[in-house]
Structure 1
C-alpha cells in the first residue's frame, strides 16, 4: 500500500528559530496571541536541538552537522521540555486566541500530549528498532536528496553526521530490550539497515567535490560508518532476531489511545469498523455492477444475475479485474510508467480546472533502500522552509531476488490502471498538490504538525475527484481499479484494529485482503508486514476520506449554486492540513472546538 512519509514520524519535537510564526499576530495581536506565538517559537526552537534530522527535513539547516540524541538522557530532556510547554499551553485561555491560533493550539496540545505519552507509556524507543533506522537513514538522505545548498557544504555536513552515526547505532543497541522487541520489527529493520550502505555510497560517490583534508575526512568517516553498519547488521541478525520475544500486537488500551492521538478525534474503533464494513459491501456492489457491463457478451464469462449470490459476485468481479491485470508495466518500468501518468494527470486537472495546480517541482524516483520494506510508494515533500525544492514521488522497485511468479503477482496488482490510482494519490491531485498548498500556509507550526487523516484522506478523495471528472474517459476497467483501491483503503481500517486488538491471524488477514478486497498475494503479504510494524496509521486513509466527502457535502449544501469544485478545493486547502473538523469550522465560520 502506498503511503505518504509523514514528517511526524521523525518528530520528537521540531525547531525553527528564525521562522515566520506570525499567524497569531496577523489576526489581531492580542496578549494571549502573543503568548501563544512565543510558546510556538519555544517549541519549534527547543525541539530542533532534540531532532536535527527532522530540522533538516523541515528546511532549517543550522544543525545539519548534528544528530538526534537518542539516549535516555536525551529522552528525559525531551519529556521535561514537552511537559513544561504543555503546562504553559494549557494556561493560555483558548477562547482569547484568534481563530487560527485556537486551531494551532489544539493541534500543538495533541502533539505535546501524544509525544509525552509515546515516550512514557508506549515506549517505542525500547522495542521498535525502526525508530532508530528512520533517524539513521534520514540523517544522510535529507542532506543528499535535495540541492538546498552547494554540494560541498552538504558533503561537509554529511561527513560530520557519518562520524556520529556509529555512536547512534551503538546507542540504539543499548536502548532496545530484546524481550520487548517483536521479531518482525527486527527483520524489517535489518532490511533497512542494509540499505544504509547505498546512502554511504551516494555520499562517497560525490567525494570529488571536496579536496585535501576534507575529502580524506569524508572517506575516513565513510569507512568507519561502513564497518559500524556491518557490525549493527550482525547484531540485528545474530543477537536481536534470535532473542526478539515481543508481541507485535500492542493491545486495546495502547491502540485506542494511540488512535485518538493519530486522529486528534474521539472516533472509536467500534464506529470505524462498522463504517468500514458498510463501505466494503457498498463498494463491492458498485464493482459488481461495472463488472457485469464489462463482461456482457464475452464468451466464457461467468453468470452475472442482477441479484447475485456472494460466490457469483466474487467470480464476476474477479473475471472483470483479470482484463485490467492484463495491462501491466514492464518489470523495471514502474518509474517510467509513473512519469507518463503524472504528466497525463496534471494535464487533466488543469484542463478541467479542478483545483489550483502549484508549480513546485515534483520528481518520480526509486525509493532509497533504507526506506523499503514497508510500503510500495511514498510521497516525500520538502519541508515548509525548503522553498523551491522538489517533492519526490517514490516507488520501490521489484526486488531482484523475486521469482517471476512473485513479480507477476506484484505487476497484476500494480497494473497500468492501478498505477494510475497510485499516481493520482501520491502526486496529482493527491499528496504532492495538497502538501504544496499546505506549505504555503503562514503558520509553519501547522505545516509541520499536519493531520495524517486530513492528508491521507485528501489523497483518497483526490482519486474520487478524478473519477468523477471523467478521467480516462470513464474507462470501466479504470473505474474498477479505482474502486478496488478504495477496497484497499477500507481493508486497511479493518486490518489495523484486527491485528492489534482482535488477534487477527495471518490467514484471516490474507483472506480479507486477497478475497474480500481482491488484492494480489504479494501486495497482501507486504501489507501484513506493514500492519504488524505500524499501528493507528492505516485507518487514517479511510477516516480522512469519509471526512473530506462529508465536508464537501456540507459546502454543497451551504453554497448551493455558488458551489464549484475549484472554489471548494482551493478554500479547504487554504487552511493548511489541520484535522478535518477544524477545516470545516474555519470554512463555515463556526466556533473552534
Structure 2
C-alpha cells in the first residue's frame, strides 16, 4: 500500500498548483535539534511497532512481505494476548515521551495513526473482546496462513512448501485453542453458521494450491508434507464436527453491537470528525439526491419506448420508483452467462485500463494485476475484493478476486445475481476494485517511503477513493456516456450510501431483516441475491460498511476545496496524483498536508 518516489514529485507539483507562499523563515538551531531528536525517536518506535506486529501476527507478516515468520502461527491464548497488550502499552508510553510538535509533518500523520491503532487494538481486546465471540478471527488466520504462502511467488516453491508444512503441523493445536477461546453462548448464530461453511476451505487451499507443486520436493520433505496434510484434514474434520454439533447449536450471542460500542468503534475505525448522527443525516439526504439523478437518466432512457411508465417532470415517489426500475431492467437484460463472470471481468478491466491511460487524469501504475477466483475460505462476505501485495514485497501481482456463483444455487438465484452483476455492473466493479480504484490507489500507496503508514492504512480513504474513481470514469464519458452505464454508477453510489443507513440501522437501531431488504431492494434497487448477501455481511461485521460513503464524502469535499483554493491553477491529474502520493492515511491528514494546515 505505498510510495518510494512519488512524494518528491508531489511536492514539486504543489509548487506549480498552489498559490505562491512567502519564503519560509529559518528555524532556530534549537528547533532543528529538537526536530532531529523527535524524528529519530519516532523512527525507533515505528520500527519497534512493525517488528512487534509481525512477530505477534506471523500470518499477517507473510502478506506484508516480512517472511522471517512464515513457518509460524500467532499465539491466540491468553498469554499471547497479554504479551501483545504489554507491548502496545509500552509503545504508547514511548510515544508520550516524544514531542509530537517537533516531528516532520509526515511523521505527525504517522504518529496520530499509530496512536489511534494502538488504542483501537487495546479497545478491541479488552472492551469489545472479539476474540471471545467471533470465530471468523480464527478461521481467517487458519485459512490465510496457507493461502498467503501459496498465492504469490515471493520465494521458491520448496521454501514455501516447507513453511506451509510447518504451519499445517501447527494448525491442529491452533484450532483446538480457538475452540477453548470461544464462548458459544456469546457467539452470534450467523457468525457460527458462516464459519461452519468456510471451514472446509482450509483443506481446499492445501489441495488446490499447494499439492500441485509437490514435485518440487524430495522424498523426505514430501513425506513430511503429506503426513502434515493428513493430520490437518483430521483436525479440520474434528473442528467441523465441533462447529456443527456444538458451536452452531449453542450460539446465542447478539450480533448487533448497540449504540455505545458502535460509536466507540466508529471513532477508531473511521478517524473522522463525522458522528453517527452526521453520517445518517448526510446519507438520508444523499439517497433523495441520487434517486433524483437516477430518475432524470431514466427519463432519458425511456422516453419514446413502447410500454414506458409515466415520466412527469415532478414524479410522485411511486412514479419515480417505476421509472427507475424500468430503466434498470434494460441493463439487467445484458448479463454474462452463469460461467462467464471471470471472462467479463477480464474484458472490462482491460477496457477500463485503456480508457484511464487515454484520458490521463491520474498516473497509471505498471505493476501487474491478475483476476483470480476468490478462495472458498473467503466466500460469503463480498462478491469481489482487491488483494494488493504487501508493502515489503517487490514486483508481486495485485489480485482482483471474484467469487464464483455457488454451485448449489438454482438457475433462478443465479439469474437474480447476474441481473445485479450485469455487464454494466461488472464494468463498474472492475473500476472500483481495480482501475482507477483499489488496484491503482494501492499501487501508488506502495511507493510511499515508509512501511508504517502502509500497515495502518485508512479504510475510508481506500474505499472512498474507489467510489470517487467510479465518478471519475463517468465524468470523463466512459462507455461513450451510455446512460445505462451512468445509471449503474449512480446505483452503485446509492448502494454505498445505503450501506451507511444499513449498518447504522442494523447495529444500533434494531433494523430487522425485512426492513433491511426493503431498504436495499426498493430504496436502492438491489436484486434479492445481492441484498440477501449484504444482510449477512452487515450481520457479520460492523462499521466497515460506513467506509464507502464516509470516504467518498471526504474525497469529494477535498477536491472541491482544492478547486476553490487553486482556482484556474487547478489541474485534475496533478491533484489526483498528489492525493495518492501520501499513501492511505485518513483524508483529513491528506487535507492538512495539501493545504499546509495543522495535523490534528
**1:416 corresponds to which residue?**
423
Could you say what secondary structure the match of 2:533 adopts?
helix
Could you say what secondary structure the match of 1:189 adopts?
helix
**1:37 corresponds to which residue?**
43
Aligned with residue 539 of structure 2, among 485, 508, 532: 532
- Counterpart-to-counterpart distance in 1, 2:469 and 2:151: 27
**1:351 corresponds to which residue?**
358
- Counterpart-to-counterpart distance in 2, 1:90 and 1:478: 51
Give, in angstroms, the shift of residue 565 of structure 1.
1.4
**1:267 corresponds to which residue?**
274
Give, in angstroms, the shift of residue 27 of structure 1.
12
Contact 2:464 2:553 (8 Å CA) reproduced: yes
For structure 2, the residue ranges without an aligned partner over 5 or more in a row are 9-31
Q: State how many pairs are aligned.
A: 574
Which runs of structure 2 are paired with 1:68-147 in the superposition (5 Å)?
Answer: 68-147=74-153
Contact 1:27 1:98 (8 Å CA) reproduced: no
Contact 2:270 2:458 (8 Å CA) reproduced: yes
Which runs of structure 2 are paired with 1:361-400 in the superposition (5 Å)?
Answer: 361-400=368-407
Greater length-normalized contact order (CA 8 Å, ≥ 6 residues apart): 2
Contact 2:38 2:102 (8 Å CA) reproduced: yes
Aligned with residue 243 of structure 1, among 239, 250, 254: 250
- Counterpart-to-counterpart distance in 1, 2:279 and 2:64: 32
Aligned with residue 427 of structure 1, among 420, 425, 434: 434
**1:16 corresponds to which residue?**
none
Could you say what secondary structure the match of 1:65 adopts?
coil
Aligned with residue 154 of structure 1, among 147, 152, 160: 160
- Counterpart-to-counterpart distance in 1, 2:167 and 2:347: 37
**2:551 corresponds to which residue?**
544
Map Cα deviations across residues 513-547 of structure 1 (whole Å, 9 max, x no partner): 00000000000000000000100100010000000
1:564 and 2:571 aligned: yes
For structure 1, the residue ranges without an aligned partner over 5 or more in a row are 1-5, 8-18
**Alignment TM-score, normalising by the size of structure 1:** 0.95
Contact 1:200 1:226 (8 Å CA) reproduced: no
Could you say what secondary structure the match of 2:509 adopts?
coil
Map Cα deviations across residues 151-202 of structure 1 (whole Å, 9 max, x no partner): 1111011001110011111110000001100000011111211211211202
Contact 2:35 2:102 (8 Å CA) reproduced: no
Contact 2:34 2:102 (8 Å CA) reproduced: no
In angstroms, what is the RMSD of aligned CA positions? 1.7
**Alignment TM-score, normalising by the size of structure 2:** 0.94
Map Cα deviations across residues 31-86 of structure 1 (whole Å, 9 max, x no partner): 01100000111111112211010100000111100111111110111111111111
- Counterpart-to-counterpart distance in 2, 1:392 and 1:345: 16
Aligned with residue 47 of structure 1, among 45, 49, 53: 53
Map Cα deviations across residues 188-244 of structure 1 (whole Å, 9 max, x no partner): 111211211211202222211101110000010011001111111111111100000
Aligned with residue 192 of structure 2, among 172, 186, 194: 186
Give, in angstroms, the shift of residue 138 of structure 1.
0.7
- Counterpart-to-counterpart distance in 2, 1:138 and 1:199: 9
**1:163 corresponds to which residue?**
169
- Counterpart-to-counterpart distance in 1, 2:33 and 2:221: 49
- Counterpart-to-counterpart distance in 2, 1:504 and 1:591: 40
Which runs of structure 2 are paired with 1:443-592 in the superposition (5 Å)?
Answer: 443-592=450-599
